[in-house]
Every structure is written in C-alpha cells, then in structure tokens.
A = this chain, B = another copy of it.
Amino acid sequence: MDEFELIRRFFSRDANAGDVVVGVGDDGALLRPTPGTDQVHVIDTLVEGVHFPANISAADIGYRVVAVNLSDIAAMGAMPRWMTLALTLWDKDEQWVEGFADGLYAAAGAHNVALVGGDTTQGDSVVATVHLTGEVEQGEALLRSGAQVGDTVYVTGTVGDAAAGLSLLQSGVTDVGLVQRFLRPEARIEQGRELRGRAHAVIDISDGLVADLGKLAAASGVGAEIDMSKLPLSAALLARYDRGSAEQLALTGGDDYELCFTAPADAVADLDGITAIGVVTEGDRIVCRRNDEIVEVDASGYRHFS
C-alpha cells in the first residue's frame, strides 16, 4: 500500500466539513477562520518506547496523540477546530494504521475536530505528531502568566491516576480504570471554556502537578503552596496505594491532563468538578504542606533529555 492509498483509506473520513474549504488532497488544507477569534496552535509528538510502552495498542496511541494536544487547547480556553498529522511508521502494517486511525478519530470526533491534512513517512520506529488549531474569542485566551498572590489554586478532576495507570501497565496489568486514565485521557475542553473571564492563569498537567504548577508560577512571577490534605485522589487510586504513595503520584506523576489554575475563590464558586488545593504566594517556590509541616517533594517532573 503506497502513501496516497494509505491516506485515502484511513485518514479521509471527515476532512471536508464546517469551515474546511479544502481538506486532504491538495498541496495544503484551506481553512476559513472564524471572524473575531484568535488562534491557538499546538504541536505534540509521541515516540514509541519514550512516551508509551511498546505493548499499548495502535488505537490507544492514535487517541493519545490527539488528546494531549486537545489538553493544551483546553488550557488556553479555546475550542479545538482542525488538526494535521505527521505519522512516521516502521513498516506498513495496514491493521496497525487502521487501529491508529480509529483511535485518532475517536479523540477528534468527541470534540468535532477535523483532520485536514498530513504526511506519512517511513522510519525506524513510530513517531506520531499532531498539530492542532483552536479558536478563542479575541482577548479571552487563558495564559500561564496571570496568577496573582492570594489566588486560590485549583485542579479539575482527580490527580495521580494516570501515573498509577502507567505503572500498572508496565507491570502487565491492563484491565483497570487507572490504566484507562493513562491510555485515554479526556481533555478538559468544556472546563477550559468555563474558565474564560474567571481564571487568572491556567496550565494543563502533563509533567506532574508540582512541575506544571511550577511553570505556571514561574510564568506569573509568583510562588504557590499546596495543601496535601486537599489533593483530589480517586477511590481507585486509594484502593491500590497507601495515602503517602497516592499523594506522591498526585504531586509528581504526569499524564493526568487535568487543568491546574488559579482564580479568586468567588470567581469559580459555581463551577463543578474542581478542587481548591492551595494558594498563590509571593516568592518563587512551590511548597507542599501537610498540617503545619512542609513536605519535600521531588518536583522535577518528567523532562526529556534530562
């Protein structure tokens, strides 16, 4: 199967919809932006053996490479619109590509994102890159840089589940909910939209809560204190790990793709599915507190090339 046939068969499902003037098949996609919006452009790559274990399914990889990009769009309060795919494969197994496409479209379809173009190449291992374009009303984008001293620090959902899931997956367990949290993260698009005009600063949690809150704080020129007793830990996590281990996963485990944000408490009182976990402080440190005790946490998170 050659490249053109591959693209036509598996990656042409919905390329001509909405504001897609021309989708897959010309030199590029032709798209019509919505007047009055700014655009958010994000790009993320998954590499076999680095970002996912070799034993996860093609469909999970396809889903995941879209989901991690959707999460960045969510963190800026934007609506995802269009994506392009660069897929490097180590061979030409049709079943694999079909599975990958199924996962990719499952993640994209949940948010009406159209795949409008791509490039398929051959290489030594699987490298999947997605570029995603979102739109947000001009002036309403959420940045990392607006946190103010005295803001409350919040997270959506629960944290630590994905890192637990990855650990389980690596030990051969595949059939529990925690593993699904790793394999099929759900980008918080709707919650990101709700935070426009309310949150002062937002980031998505990909490298770990402390690491990502640290980036938000650095961009804002502030510090933050996390009250460890308030961390939202799932029942599934606490069923498998003692409290201390669960807290460690919640603070330093990556891949949750929840949103971490800061806001005045009265600005988000009516929002569901969020938990206040701390406060924005002066300085430049991220401090974790249990009762009156400062707890040291390895805050390095996950960094490539480190």
Query: In the bound complex, do residue A144 and residue B26 qualify as a contact, i.e. CB atoms below 8 Å apart?
Result: yes
Interface residue count on the A side (C-beta < 8 Å): 72
Instruction: Report if A204 contacts B (CB, 8 A).
Output: yes
Which of A37-45, A230-238, A263-271 is found at the contact surface with chain B?
A37-45
In the complex, the chain B residue whose C-beta lies closest to that of A31 is B39
Chain B residues near A4 (CB, 8 Å)? 303
Q: Quick one: CB contact mask for A81-115 with B, threshold 8 Å, 1 for yes?
A: 01011101000100000000000000000000000
In the bound assembly, the distance between CA atoms of A122 and B51 in angstroms comes to: 9
Task: Choose from B30, B50, B75 the contact partner of A27 (Cβ within 8 Å).
Answer: B75
Cβ A47 vs Cβ B88 within 8 A: yes
User: Which residues of B are found within 8 Å of A37, using beta-carbon distances?
Assistant: 33
Q: Mark A14-44, 1 if CB is under 8 A from B, else 0.
A: 0000000110011111111101011111111
Chain B residues with CB below 8 A from A6, complex form? 305
- Complex-state Cα separation, A37 to B30, whole angstroms: 10
Number of copies: 2
Least CB distance, A140 to chain B, in whole angstroms: 10
Residue A253 CB within 8 A of the other chain: no
Known: A125-B124, A129-B129. A39 touches B43 (CB 8 A): no
A144-B88 in contact (CB<8A) = no
Contact A219 B26 (CB under 8 A): yes
Contact with B along A122-164 (1 / 0, CB 8 A): 1111010101011010100101110000000000000000000
